[in-house]
Each structure stands twice: as C-alpha cells, then as structure tokens.
Structure 1
Amino acid sequence: MPRPRSLQPDRLAAAAVAIIDRDGLAGLTMRAAAQELGLSTMALYRYVADRDELELLVCEWVLRDLDATVPDGPIWTENLKILSQRVRASLAAHQRVVPLLIANRQRCHAVLRWTESALAVLTAAGFDDADRVVALRGLVAYLNGALLQESLGALAGPGTLVMAALPAADFPLLRDTARRAGTVSADDEFDGGLSIVLRGLAAMVS
C-alpha cells in the first residue's frame, strides 16, 4: 500500500534537523520526530520505515543546495578546494549533522555526486588506479575530520582553554600551541589544513 502524501519528505527532514540542531544527534528519535511534527510515533512509520531512513532524509536535506558540479578553473588543486569549501558552507548552519553525514557517506546521493566530481578533478589531474584511490581517501579524510572537529567546537573553545592551562613543565609545546590557537579563525584553520593536503596531492603527480 502506498504511503499517504500528506507529509512531504522535506518537511519531515526539516523537523529532524531542527531536533538535531537543538538537542544533538542523541535527541533524534522516531518519537521525537513525531512529536516535532504533531504526529503519533506509529503515524510516523507511515512515512519512513525506521531511523536509518530518517537519517538519510536528513543527509539529503542538509545538502540539498550543495553545488556538486565540477568547477571549470584551470588549476585542479583550486577546483578541489572549491568543492571542499562548498561542502563546509552547506553545513555551516547545521554542524551537528556532520557525524550523520560521515556515517551515511556511502548512500547519500548528494555526497556521492560530490565524490564523483572530486574524482573527475583528480582524474583530469593525472591520478589513476591506486593513486586515485589514495588521493580521494586522503582528501575525504581531511574534509570529514576538519568538519567533525569544527562541529565539536572552535579552536578558542573550552577544550583548548583547558590545554592552554596545562603545566608548562610537562606540556610546553601543547600549552603554547593551545594559547596561540585562539588567534586562528575557523576559515584559516580549514583552508590552511586543506592547503597542506592539496600540496601533498600535487606532489604525487608532479
């Protein structure tokens, strides 16, 4: 029997994202989503089979405006930078969703389309076979790690302040680095780390 059409997927996904933004991933349950929509929990199952399906809707909704087209610039490393910055910009308002996107990266169509474009850039740059596998994994590993770290807090956040107060005799470099971290903007942190990765990739095909 087909599901009723009274509740559109976008509305359901938006409600789930609102819960995550407010209460974190732990707050997203089928019961919470139903309450957000003014439904009974059982009624919600008429629209999604389980939480896995709900999570996938969230991933697609958050990245619904992501431009996954291949940039047309002449420098391939800049094109990868643009693609990476687009993902970060798409998640700026919903950073708590990042772990969910990482967990669903192999089935979210928006992520798959982005990955295809990144592979197109790498292929045009001369990567193939195992090198292309390693290059993609390295890029995605940095992107996922940077986004996850940013979602957990800014460089000048409470965790960094704790490290900045460590005993200088035991952790002189960590203490000094933590104290300087507050001067680094989130944009500089992301772009600086990405530049290191891209220089490494460029060395593979130079």
Structure 2
Amino acid sequence: MPRQRSLSLPQIAAAALEVVDADGLAALSMRTVARRLGIGTMSLYRYVADRDELEAMVVGLVLDEIDLRVPGGSPRHRILVLAERVRDVAAQHPAVVPLMLAHRHRTPASMRWGEVVLGVLAEAGYTGKRRVYAFRALLAYVFGALEVEHYSPLSGPGTYALAELPADEFPVLSETATVAYAIPAADEFRRGLEIVLRGLEL
C-alpha cells in the first residue's frame, strides 16, 4: 500500500485559493480542493473540518499578502495607504471578496492589519469609544467598498441602466450615473476613502 500523502495547511489553503481563482467561489468544496491536491475527499477531512474552514484559510492566505509596514506621512496618508493595500490584494483575487468580511476576524493577517491601523489612530489622538467609532467607520468603508465594487461595479450594466433613465424624471440620478460609468475602480475607492478620512478629521 502506498504511504498516505502528508499535507500542510498552507498547501491546502493554496489549493483552495486556486480553485476559487480559476472557477469562482461557488466551485469551492472539500471535493474540488481534494481533487486539486490529488487526494481523496475523506483524506482532506484529516486536516480541515469543512468548507467554512476552507473559506477562512483562503481569506487568510489572501490577506497575508498585505504589506503591513507603516508608511510615512500624516495619519490620513498612512491610513489611506494601508486601506489601499487591502484593495490591492483583493483585486488580485476578486472572487474571494465576498468572504473577507465574514472571515476577517479569524485570520491573523487581518488582526495584524487592524493593530497597525488602530496604532495610527492612537497616535493621532483617538482614544476610547472615539477610536472604536473611527475604526469601525474605516472597516465599513474598506470592506463595504470592496463588496460594492465586486457586486455592482461602476463599469457594470447597473450604472449603464441608471444613465439611460429618462432625464425628466431622474435628472440627477441619470447625470450622476453617466459620470460614474467612466470612473476607474481604484479612483472610486481612493476618493471615497478620502471623504471618510476628512470626516474623521485625519
């Protein structure tokens, strides 16, 4: 009998990410990951409990790519750069975006990113509840913007449909959608974040 193949959790996470990148989130399962690894499905259960754990591993692997070095400059600039780094890694694996908010609390990389951002807020004078509100506002923007970009990009059919609305009935909506259609996704993220940071007085 051949010896049972030994696997590491990083190998399994990489295989799961390959499945998602190649075939989309719906394709992720214990069976498809096992097949990619060249093992039986039941053998995979020796390492991973279920699909939920696979999802968390995939998110962890993607977020591990974030550069956590604190940039120089003002607090506003530092948080802007740290937030854009999250978008940069998400853009490399767009199918993973729907999993990020659900599993970010289970991934060490996300915790380290949160620690760095909270450190910048603390240095900027945010304490107690005010720091909580500011951090949650940033989380809401970063992960919310990623999901909006994923499910409803400005370059998508939804924006086009809004731009085609009758101008006599929806003058502002149709005009805004016409402008929005040409805005690159990276610009949308950055400009929106700048508005949030100004509101936080950073």
Judge same fold: TM > 0.5, yes or no.
Answer: yes
Give the drift of 1:48.
Answer: 0.8
1:77 is aligned to 2:76: yes
Report the equivalent of 2:42.
42
Letter in 1 for 2:67: D
Report the equivalent of 2:200.
201
Give the drift of 1:75.
Answer: 0.6
Q: Give, in whole Å, the separation in 2 of the partners of 1:11 and 1:153.
A: 33
Give the drift of 1:39.
Answer: 2.2
CA contact (8 A) 1:59 1:101 kept: yes
CA contact (8 A) 1:60 1:110 kept: yes
Deviations 1:27-48 (A, max 9, x none): 2111222222222211110121
Give the drift of 1:174.
Answer: 1.4
Report the equivalent of 1:171.
170
Per mean C-alpha deviation after superposition, the further-off stretch among 127-136 and 148-157 is 148-157
CA contact (8 A) 1:56 1:108 kept: yes
Give the drift of 1:155.
Answer: 1.1
What is the TM-score when the length of structure 1 is the normalising length? 0.89
Give the drift of 1:8.
Answer: 2.4
Deviations 1:155-174 (A, max 9, x none): 12112112222232332221
Q: Report SS of the residue matched to 1:170.
A: coil
Gaps of 5+ in 2: none
Give the drift of 1:153.
Answer: 4.8
Give the drift of 1:84.
Answer: 0.4
Residue correspondence of structure 1 range 1-206 to structure 2 within 5 A:
6-71=6-71, 73-202=72-201
Give the drift of 1:25.
Answer: 2.1
What is the TM-score when the length of structure 2 is the normalising length? 0.91
Gaps of 5+ in 1: none
CA contact (8 A) 1:70 1:79 kept: yes
Give the drift of 1:65.
Answer: 2.3
CA contact (8 A) 1:20 1:28 kept: yes
Q: Give, in whole Å, the separation in 2 of the partners of 1:99 and 1:121.
A: 27
Letter in 2 for 1:150: E
The alignment of Structure 1 onto Structure 2 pairs a total of residues equal to 199
Give the drift of 1:77.
Answer: 0.6
CA contact (8 A) 1:69 1:114 kept: no
Q: Give, in whole Å, the separation in 2 of the partners of 1:37 and 1:174.
A: 49
Runs of 4+ in 1 over 4 A off after TM superposition: none
Deviations 1:77-111 (A, max 9, x none): 10101110111111221011112111012111100
